[in-house]
Amino acid sequence: MHVWRARLAATLLGFSVLSASAAAAIALADPASDAPETRPAQPASADQPASYAQAIATWRSPADVNAWIGARFEYDLDRALQLSENQRAQGPAVQIHAAPVLYERPAGVCVDLARFAVETLRVVAPAAKASYLMIEFDPRLIAGNLLRRHWLVVYEDAGQLFFFADSKRPGHVAGPYGSVQAFIEHYADYRQRKIVSFRRVDTYQRQMKTLAPKTGRDAADLPAAAGVATGATD
């Protein structure tokens, strides 16, 4: 009887610890945000280059870049709120981290990570034709801050498309896909959010419109098209 009670107590204790962990995971993994799903800590490999200059001299493929992202990148929620639409309208512009800066301090938001991956791949694997994918969701409020845009990276391999450098799931590569549209349909299901528009673009920065819209609506209200530059960087 004492053995049975001891086993029951151990089981209940394990359940309480698991429940606490699950509750913590729920609190940290807000499906409306771009923060990553909870994941076990991955210590940096001793084989990682000591500097960004050494990294781009050593890396040769998207897999090399992705391995570093999975091991090192951390999401910075405070910075995400600074880049929200309402905070950007009220304060000075927040600069997007350059690739060497993110390498030295690997904490940021989706657009920081996307910039790192695009700029790095264009050096170490130019044949991959890395570009940005800007996704606009239905807007959500996080701590009173309006967030709607999300950034990740698309690259090509053997005629197929692959998507990575996603702050929601660092270290994950999605693909192969035959089109951006096919990925978007799967990604909307994964995020459980409506995607209003998306664009595959060469830069995260604002650009002048290449074509004037035929109606009075702003270009951001028109259906997304590949190669049309996006506006804000949130």
CB 106 within 8 A of CB 72: yes
What is the identity of the amino acid at 203?
Answer: T
Residue 156 near residue 129, CB atoms below 8 Å? yes
Contact 118, 133 (CB under 8 A): no
Amino acid at 35: A
What does the pLDDT read at residue 89? 67
- Max mean pLDDT among 82-96, 126-140, 143-157, 215-229 falls in 126-140
For the chain, give the percent of residues with pLDDT over 70: 69
DSSP code, position 161: E
For the chain, domain boundaries: 1-30, 32-221
**Mean pLDDT of the chain, nearest integer:** 77
> Which residues are paired to 222 by β-bridges?
none
Crossing angle between the packed helical segments 110-124 and 62-72, to the nearest 10 degrees: 150
pLDDT band at 48 (very low <50, low <70, confident <90, very high): confident
Distances 71 to 42, 58, 124 between C-alpha atoms, Å: 5, 17, 19
Residue 223 confidence (pLDDT) above 80: no
Q: Radius of gyration of the chain from Cα atoms?
A: 20
Please check the confidence at residue 181 and state whether its pLDDT lies above 50. Answer: yes
pLDDT given for residue 43 in this prediction: 54
DSSP state string for 23-66: HHHHHH--TTSSSPPP----PPPTTS-SSHHHHHHH--SHHHHH
Torsion (CA) 105, 110, 112, 116 in degrees, nearest 10: 90
Query: Is 173 within 8 Å of 164 (Cβ atoms)?
Result: yes
Q: What are phi and psi of 222, to 5 degrees?
A: -85, 160
211 burial class (0-12, 13-18, 19+ CB within 10 angstroms)? exposed
210 contact partners, CB below 8 Å, separation of at least 6: 228, 229
Pairwise CA distance, residues 68 & 65, whole Å: 5
